[in-house]
Amino acid sequence: MNERISIVSMASVSALGDSEAQIWKRYIEGKSLIGCSVFDKFSALVSGVPETCLTEIEQLKAVKNYKDLDPSVLMAIYISRKALAHTDWHQKEFGVNIGSSRGATHLFEKYFKEFNDNEKGLVNTLSSPTTTLGNISSWVGHDLQSNGPVISHSIACSTALHGILNGIAWIGSGMSDRFLAGGSEASNTPFTIAQMKALKIYARQNSEYPCLSLDMEKTINTFVLGEAAAVFCLEKGSHKNALAMIEGIGYATEPLKHNISISTNADCFQKSMKMATKDIELEQVDVIVTHAPGTIKGDSSECNAIKIVFGNDHPALTSNKWMIGHSLGASGGMSLELAILMMKHQQFIEVPFGSFKKKPKQIRKVLVNAVGFGGNAVSVLLSLD
């Protein structure tokens, strides 16, 4: 990176809540927020947005033209307003890049069911415009009157961090000074969960910790879906009010050998982590917030990559998926938020059952990882100064 980027504000909504105080309180409590929910033809372990937050999000439908928007779009609007409220961006031009792995899942499944049930194969007039991937960023840009570039993308589970990379690229090019970036995923729908179950990775045991992210002794896959949205306000240069600085970024892909898996030693993560940390001594990294989806292969391959890059005396490792599940396109954003909160409070959030017990002496630099299906990795290095 030619110049550091400041994160001047952030906001999220998930099973953790929607306010920083509430979110941090839940992290400190250290309890899994995953539970069993009933869907059309089966039950499944998921984490969802609390009812109190859902009520406020639903109130957005009172705005003209918002009543037909998907929950993924409404969640993004809701938290983007919160993030912008803590900036001086009002009346200033800024870009928007909020992606999603699945997009408008609730509406898409609803409209497709109506299509199947209709004798003539007719479908709702709004079925196409309200389910396109561009809905999330477009409606956020409209709601906030951003007047800057509005971009949408989908890169599976590394989508949110790719949004951060894209915002940094625009700022670095001189085409924009500010960018609102992140991801939104309202994925707790029957067909989406059925797809995850078909991969044979989904958790089946409703125990104290259904998702065993970073437990290297597990003998079964424990992936769990969770809904969430997270956004970050990025500005060029160093700012006194910054929550954190983005000091390094890395990205990589690897040749596809299977539609869903990455290599045994996660070559993509090795490359992305090396790129993100190339300007510092590796010993300076205090914590890595891992992607660690709770699957045997996913967790082990990332940890193998970390040991190859950092050695056996690697930084402290943590994850939040054991608590809130995997929010797909938003998951990297939720990990980035956890990293910032740990730096702010100088308190490490450890995995209660994990195989890695190392704790950092300080939390000044944190590396955040995310990867999408097939090996599309991103690493972001955060610093307090």
Domains of the chain, earliest start first: 5-383 (3.40.47.10)
Distance CA 129, CA 276 (A): 38
Distance CA 111, CA 117 (A): 10
Distance CA 217, CA 238 (A): 42
Distance CA 269, CA 253 (A): 8
- Contact, 370 vs 332, CB < 8 A? yes
Q: How many CB atoms lie within 10 A of CB 6?
A: 20
Q: Tell me, rounded to whole angstroms, the distance of Cα 155 from its chain centroid.
A: 11
Distance CA 27, CA 181 (A): 23
Per-residue pLDDT of the chain (385 residues; tens, 9 = 90+): 778 899 999 999 999 999 999 999 999 999 999 999 999 899 999 999 999 999 999 999 999 899 999 999 999 999 999 999 999 998 889 999 999 999 999 999 999 999 999 999 999 999 999 999 889 999 999 999 999 999 999 999 999 999 999 999 999 999 999 999 999 999 999 999 999 999 999 999 999 999 999 999 999 999 999 999 999 999 999 998 999 999 999 999 988 776 666 889 999 999 999 999 999 999 999 999 999 999 999 999 999 999 999 999 999 999 999 999 999 999 999 999 999 999 999 999 999 997 899 999 999 999 999 999 878 999 999 999 8
